[in-house]
Amino acid sequence: MIKKKRVYKADKKVNPFIGVLLFLISIVLLAVTGPLGFLYGFFRSLFRKGFKGIGEYLLKIAISVDQLGNVMMQHLLNTLWVKKGRYNFGNRDETISSALGRNKKLGTLTGFGNWIDKLLDVIDPNHSLNSIDYYIEPSDQIIDKLAWIHIVDGRILMTRTEGRGNYNIPGGKREPGEGDAKALFREIKEKLGVDIEISSLYFIGIFEAQADGHKPGVLVQKTSYAASYKGELQPAMEIAEMVWLNYKDRHMVSEVDMLIFDFLREKRQLE
């Protein structure tokens, strides 16, 4: 069984008054209990794991502070560090470094943003790129999808949706409450008429790039799996065409699938 620590729920609308009240309560609790909790956690970590324990504890706090900063400073960072077509800072589940890395990949950092990125690279090489978090909560700037990678004799199975020009790795989006396995099984059954063998699911990786047909800064993220199947492959629903492509056909696929093609080529799975 494939298990992933992720919750796919959009934020519910909140009464502004409730937001202000909860903010004030959180500030009071932090001011009163924060110092006590920090001291207890510090010495507990020290006694249990020594200096290593302190390092682990402080790292968790640093990440949380970073996430808080991503929300508190989102408007300032979106003004100073990134330009038009950007990926926005401000996701409460993401660190500043993660959002910085996504903009570095998109090429949307300003001169100031590039300077900050280079400064971080001096401290920790490729810091922002290595900090990109693929397990953050969904947002209107990340289209989350699943992909089924099926390769036979060095060629990968691809599909083309009605009215689209590029080919895509078959898959689709989750429905509310679905896990990866259930959602991928449903999507492949609906679109290609075969049954994915869930027990054979093998995680390949998570790939992310600019989403085709969307405004700049909107990303598509594909969580990709390989798996065996039962049945006969047959295009259905909105699938207009099913083909087998080699690496030389890379220019015919979506931007995110180009990354997957590169990955599979490096692994010598795609000819």
Note whether 204 and 246 are within 8 A (CB).
no
Q: What is the pLDDT of residue 14?
A: 63
Q: What is the pLDDT of residue 139?
A: 83
Distance separating alpha carbons of residues 74 and 91, to the nearest angstrom: 9
Question: Mean pLDDT lowest for which of 10-24, 26-40, 110-124, 216-230?
Answer: 10-24
Mean pLDDT, rounded, for 29-33: 84
Note whether 6 and 135 are within 8 A (CB).
yes
Give the amino acid at 151.
I
Instruction: Write down the pTM of the prediction.
Output: 0.75
DSSP states along 134-177: TTSPPBTTEEEEEEEE-EETTEEEEEEETT-SSBB-SEEPPPTT
Mean pLDDT, rounded, for 204-230: 92
Model confidence band, residue 12 (pLDDT cutoffs 50, 70, 90): low
Sign of CA dihedral 203, 209, 210, 213: negative
Whether the predicted pLDDT of 144 surpasses 60:
yes
Whether the predicted pLDDT of 9 surpasses 80:
no
Mean pLDDT, rounded, for 149-161: 94
Whether the predicted pLDDT of 178 surpasses 70:
yes
**Cα separations in angstroms, 82 against 78, 99, 104, 170, 221:** 6, 10, 9, 33, 21
Q: What is the pLDDT of residue 138?
A: 74
